[in-house]
């Protein structure tokens, strides 16, 4: 308890001196009123009559709000509280004249009120502190819950633990299984404010009672150590001083907290070192350690324990997220393998398209000017783009394999049938040649045989040449190139010729179905087959929609869906235009076309040189089919040369 006698230099306590004798009395002038509330002890302010009109009411009210109490001393003849004094601010009033007993009663009343107000102020301050701590833990929990990268998460955990405890250093261990199937602790992270130059070297220690971290992991109990150099003689653990000796550091107070998951299993250990009076103080000398380092309080243990629980859940969630990512990665790569096994000639296409699209996205992300200067891609969005690129052709599993790998206009079995037909016709011609020779000899003998044989040979040779030409015309027409008009006429003429089968029926050299395929004007696919190939985009979209992608990857189906769309609406399958095509898809379209043009020779087309491919694509830009700015970035950054 403290009495403060606030007075002017001319005022004297007079008869009250005997009452105050032996008490702790501070005589202060008016100008020092601001110091009265600085003390955290209950304070009773004795306000003399001369100061009542000099002290602003706001100052008195601030003193009361801070937990002090005011006892006013009356002027001679005053028996009631004067009107200029707000009664609600007074804990007591001593009329004049007053006896010692009345004075003491007023003082005691003031002290009780001051003590009550001080306790209220302390409780409010404690509540405010707890509220701030809860708010801080909540903010930390939110931050931990949104971070997916394990390395970043561990750094955040240790940083926040040091910050809320004002710790100079700290380290973090995670429990893992060794090759032998035993649990061990891996030293994953360290921070030392006073020794930032100290290198970090990862190592493992056994989960046993010999080390501080091992003890906490084994027992599941927290360790609170006031001085790590003076451990009790009966403990099983010891401190490793190698860091201190190597870098001239002094480890003193320590807090070692096991991190437990929702099953109460220890998944790691959080170790804090040297709690300081000032968070930004540097501990460079033993004297600074002695001056700054304090033990970890019970409240800090509670806070770090709560944080460790949040951290354990966040770490488990991060590991689970990594497992999901690995699962998705494995699934995606397996899907790509399935695609490429159906069409080995396109091996590597999906990976190259994905790599170039991500490279172009990173180029766009770095753009400082242009239409895409404000476009930024997060790590999750880049992964989304990569997966969409890898899976953009997955719908080809729904396309008939014979159509998917069709290299010529005719299917191999159809061409083989025509060749068998040619062989039959040739054997028939040979048989007819020898039959007519035999018949002539049988009927006429040798007379005129030489002349007959010469004429028959000419006819036979003409027939054989015609059959050879038939095969040649079919072979040339079967190539997936633009069909010359004269070739089309030849095909139609052969379609009109017939021959006699073994059963005596007449059959055409070329069926209508064969003529239809052979007269495909460009490429190797007819309209029906082309539509079937184009349907792979719809198959891809429907398939990818069935996958329960995470929130960060949910745009994969839409990105992959439009990789054959063109800005002018001439693409497929929906014929959408312009901004209706996502930028991720527009980037993928550029990568897909470039790789399709430059990939190694395929049965239905030869590869073109990179420069020629870029010229072809530039033509599509000028035709309004490809995004010109994205294409320029693709070329200027030489994205097509980046390893995939």
Domain that holds residue 443: 412-523
* 160 lies in the same domain as 297: yes
| Cβ neighbours of residue 237 closer than 8 Å, sequence gap 6 or more | 209, 210, 211, 212, 214, 215, 223, 231
pLDDT in tens, 333-378: 888 888 888 777 778 899 999 999 999 999 999 999 988 999 999 9
* 250 lies in the same domain as 208: yes
Angle at 635 between CA 634 and CA 639, to 5 degrees: 55
CA distance 425 to 466: 11
Q: What is the pTM of this model?
A: 0.64
Question: Which tokens in the block code for residue 23?
Answer: 């008490």
pLDDT at 486: 61
Q: What φ, ψ does residue 25 adopt, rounded to 5°?
A: -120, 130
Asked if 380 contacts 553 with a C-beta cutoff of 8 angstroms, the reply is: yes
**130 occurs within a structural domain:** no
CA distance 107 to 117: 15
CA distance 442 to 403: 55
Asked if 251 contacts 283 with a C-beta cutoff of 8 angstroms, the reply is: no
**600 occurs within a structural domain:** yes
Question: Which tokens in the block code for residue 386?
Answer: 């990569």
**138 occurs within a structural domain:** no
Question: Which tokens in the block code for residue 401?
Answer: 């394999």
**325 occurs within a structural domain:** no
* 241 lies in the same domain as 350: no
* 167 lies in the same domain as 295: yes
**Angstrom distances, CA of residue 103 to CA of 26, 74, 136:** 17, 11, 48
Angle at 237 between CA 236 and CA 243, to 5 degrees: 160
Asked if 381 contacts 553 with a C-beta cutoff of 8 angstroms, the reply is: no
Burial 122-149 (b: 16+ CB within 10 A, else e): eeeeeeeeeeeeeeebeebbeebeebbe
Exposed, middle or buried by CB within 10 Å (0-12, 13-18, 19+), for 30? Answer: middle
Burial 92-119 (b: 16+ CB within 10 A, else e): bbbbeebeeeebeebbebbbebbbebbe
* 294 lies in the same domain as 391: no
* 161 lies in the same domain as 296: yes
Asked if 641 contacts 358 with a C-beta cutoff of 8 angstroms, the reply is: no
**392 occurs within a structural domain:** yes
| Cβ neighbours of residue 16 closer than 8 Å, sequence gap 6 or more | 100, 103
Exposed, middle or buried by CB within 10 Å (0-12, 13-18, 19+), for 561? Answer: buried
Segments of the chain scoring below 70 in pLDDT: 1-42, 51-54, 126-130, 132-133, 137-138, 143-144, 482-487, 601-605, 643-644
Q: What is the CATH number of the domain that holds 538?
A: 1.10.3210.10
CA distance 344 to 110: 95
Q: What is the DSSP letter of 505?
A: -
- Mapped onto helix, strand or coil, the DSSP state of residue 167 is strand
* 519 lies in the same domain as 538: no
* 176 lies in the same domain as 301: yes
CA distance 368 to 377: 14
pLDDT in tens, 80-121: 887 777 777 788 788 777 777 777 787 788 778 878 877 777
Q: What is the CATH number of the domain that holds 237?
A: 3.30.450.40
| Secondary structure in 3-state letters for 318-350 | HHHHHHHHHHHHHHHHHHHHHHHHHCHHHCCHH
**Angstrom distances, CA of residue 53 to CA of 50, 240, 448:** 7, 67, 160
**Angstrom distances, CA of residue 561 to CA of 391, 414, 441, 557:** 10, 34, 75, 6
Given 3-state DSSP classes, what are the helix, strand and coil percentages for the chain, each rounded to the nearest 5? 55, 15, 30
Q: Is 370 left (phi over 0), alpha (psi -120 to 50) or beta?
A: left
* 519 lies in the same domain as 586: no
Asked if 208 contacts 214 with a C-beta cutoff of 8 angstroms, the reply is: yes
pLDDT at 40: 59
Which residue, 468, 500, 523, sits at the end of a domain?
523
* 205 lies in the same domain as 273: yes
pLDDT at 30: 36
**147 occurs within a structural domain:** no
* 249 lies in the same domain as 357: no
Count of structural domains, the chain:
4
Residue entry with tokens 């429907």: 542
* Residue 26 CB neighbours (<10 A): 14
Cα 520 from chain centre? 49
* 512 lies in the same domain as 593: no
**327 occurs within a structural domain:** no
């Amino acid at each position: 308890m403290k009495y403060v006698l606030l007075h002017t230099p001319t005022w004297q306590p007079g008869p009250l001196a005997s009452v105050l004798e032996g008490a702790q009395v501070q005589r202060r002038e008016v100008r020092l009123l601001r110091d009265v509330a600085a003390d955290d002890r209950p304070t009773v302010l004795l306000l003399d009559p001369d100061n009542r009109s000099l002290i602003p009411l706001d100052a008195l009210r601030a003193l009361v709000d801070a937990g002090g109490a005011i006892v006013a001393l009356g002027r001679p003849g005053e028996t009631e509280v004067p009107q200029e004094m707000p009664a609600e601010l007074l804990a007591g009033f001593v009329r004049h004249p007053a006896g010692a007993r009345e004075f003491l009663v007023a003082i005691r009343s003031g002290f009780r009120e001051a003590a009550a107000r001080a306790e209220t102020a302390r409780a409010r301050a404690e509540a405010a502190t707890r509220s701030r701590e809860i708010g801080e833990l909540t903010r930390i929990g939110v931050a931990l819950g949104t971070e997916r990268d394990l390395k970043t998460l561990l750094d955040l955990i240790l940083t926040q633990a040091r910050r809320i405890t004002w710790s100079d250093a700290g380290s973090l261990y995670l429990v893992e299984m060794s090759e032998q199937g035993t649990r061990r602790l891996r030293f994953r992270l360290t921070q030392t404010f006073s020794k930032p130059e100290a290198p970090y070297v990862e190592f493992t220690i056994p989960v046993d009672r010999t080390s501080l971290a091992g003890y906490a992991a084994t027992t599941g109990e927290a360790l609170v150590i006031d001085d790590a150099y003076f451990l009790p003689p009966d403990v099983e653990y010891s401190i490793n001083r190698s860091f201190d000796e190597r870098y001239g550091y002094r480890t003193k107070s320590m807090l070692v907290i096991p991190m437990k998951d929702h099953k109460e299993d220890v998944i790691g250990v959080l170790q804090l070192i040297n709690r300081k009076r000032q968070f930004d103080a540097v501990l460079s000398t033993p004297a600074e350690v002695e001056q700054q380092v304090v033990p970890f309080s019970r409240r800090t243990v509670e806070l770090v324990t709560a944080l460790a629980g949040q951290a354990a859940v966040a770490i488990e969630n991060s590991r689970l997220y990594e497992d999901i990512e690995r699962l998705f990665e494995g699934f995606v790569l397996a899907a790509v393998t399935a695609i490429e096994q159906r069409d080995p000639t396109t091996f590597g296409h999906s990976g190259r398209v994905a790599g170039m699209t991500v490279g172009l996205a990173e180029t766009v992300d770095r753009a400082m000017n242009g239409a895409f200067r404000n476009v930024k891609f997060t790590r999750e969005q880049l992964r989304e783009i990569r997966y969409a690129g890898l899976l953009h052709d997955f719908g080809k599993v729904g396309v008939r394999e014979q159509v998917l790998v069709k290299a010529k206009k005719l299917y191999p079995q159809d061409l083989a049938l025509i060749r068998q037909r040619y062989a039959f016709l040739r054997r028939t011609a040979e048989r007819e040649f020898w039959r007519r020779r035999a018949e002539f000899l049988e009927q006429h003998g040798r007379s005129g045989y030489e002349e007959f044989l010469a004429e028959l040979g000419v006819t036979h040779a003409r027939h054989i040449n015609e059959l050879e030409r038939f095969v040649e015309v079919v072979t040339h027409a079967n190539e997936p190139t633009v069909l010359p008009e004269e070739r089309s006429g030849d095909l139609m003429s052969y379609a009109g010729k017939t021959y006699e089968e073994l059963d005596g029926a007449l059959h055409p050299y070329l069926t209508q179905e064969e003529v239809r395929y052979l007269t495909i004007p460009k490429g190797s696919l007819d309209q029906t087959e082309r539509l079937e190939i184009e349907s792979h985009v719809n198959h891809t979209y429907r398939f990818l929609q069935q996958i329960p992608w995470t929130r960060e990857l949910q745009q994969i189906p839409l990105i992959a869906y439009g990789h054959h769309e063109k800005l002018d609406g001439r693409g497929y399958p929906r014929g959408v235009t312009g901004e209706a095509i996502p930028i991720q898809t527009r980037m993928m379209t550029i990568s897909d076309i470039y790789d399709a043009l430059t990939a190694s020779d395929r049965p239905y087309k030869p590869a073109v040189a990179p420069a020629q491919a870029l010229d072809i694509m530039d033509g599509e830009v000028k035709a309004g089919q490809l995004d010109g700015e994205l294409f320029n970035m693709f070329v200027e950054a030489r994205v097509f040369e980046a390893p995939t």
